[in-house]
Amino acid sequence: MSNEWSHIEVELIVSDYLDMLSSELNGKPVNKTEHRSRIRPLLNNRSNGSIEFKHQNISAILIKLGLPYINGYKPRWNYQNILEEELIKLISVKKRSLEQTFFEFADAQPISIPKVDFSRMVDAAPEKNILTEPEVKYERRPIKVNFLEREQRNSILGLKGEELVLQYERWRLKNEGVGKWIDNIEWISKYDDSAGFDILSRNRDGSDRFIEVKTTKLNKDTPIFFSKNELEFSFQKKDKYFLYRLFNFNNDPKLFYLNGDFDSFCRREAIHFKGYF
């Protein structure tokens, strides 16, 4: 049997994935095992592992298109071209209803900051292969809006995320036995959004820790978006610059942090240009 998925199989799994995604983004419970059990008899003797891997491929394509994806399916980038073609086709067919769901997801404002056990909040950064997703030379977008970027620009979500990181930093310094530095923490972006970072905290030795906070309701594999100003500041202060990636904000917030400049911990891709005449 060929390992290549047929058009019919791809159509079935893409349709099922988008149904699950719509339910998840609308706050409805999704039983992934039940979905997998229902679709498996319709496929060509595919194992549960093969089906899950294809779901992860779909997550990767959605990220490439700037669209939300199912939290439980970690993106995997080695996929058939037919999978991307079919996903774009089906998104185009369901564009109106999907756009409404995506707008509601991106623009939804968190009511309050979730309660967090800070001792369990820090998670590992994404694996290296996630941070080096292949460069895209040209791409088709069935939906023009980059909803991953739009969600990150959700001002209320961003403020709540920064406030939670402030709380974490106070806990961290106290937990490290240097609570004397807590009063030195400053929420810079609240009065200066052009500084190139959000929070000025302290390291254990009292030196500056420049923190840039990026918050998402999705999981940690979601790409970040940053400005030229943030990039240049990270170069200037790379030894003291920290990216705090806050994810799963609405449910069980976690974060990972990386020290250095942006080029040291992610592959950047230009998505906007300025033209002079």
Give CATH for domain 149-265: 3.40.1350
Read off the pLDDT of residues 173-230 as tens digits, 9 standing for 90 and up. Answer: 999 999 999 999 999 999 998 999 999 999 999 999 999 999 999 999 999 999 999 9
Tell me the β-bridge partners of 202.
208
pTM of the predicted structure, to 2 decimals: 0.91
Cβ 220 vs Cβ 168: under 8 Å: no
Read off the pLDDT of residues 17-56 as tens digits, 9 standing for 90 and up. Answer: 999 999 999 988 899 999 999 999 999 999 999 999 999 9
The amino acid sitting at 165 is V
Going by C-alpha positions, the residue among 197, 243, 241 that lies closest to residue 220 is 243
How many Cα atoms are found within 13 Å in the side-chain-facing hemisphere of 277? 0
As given in the structure block, the two tokens for residue 98 are: 């999907």
Domain map (residue ranges) of the chain: 1-107, 149-265
What 3-state class would DSSP assign to 40? Answer: helix
3-state helix, strand, coil split of the chain in percent (to 5) is 45, 10, 45
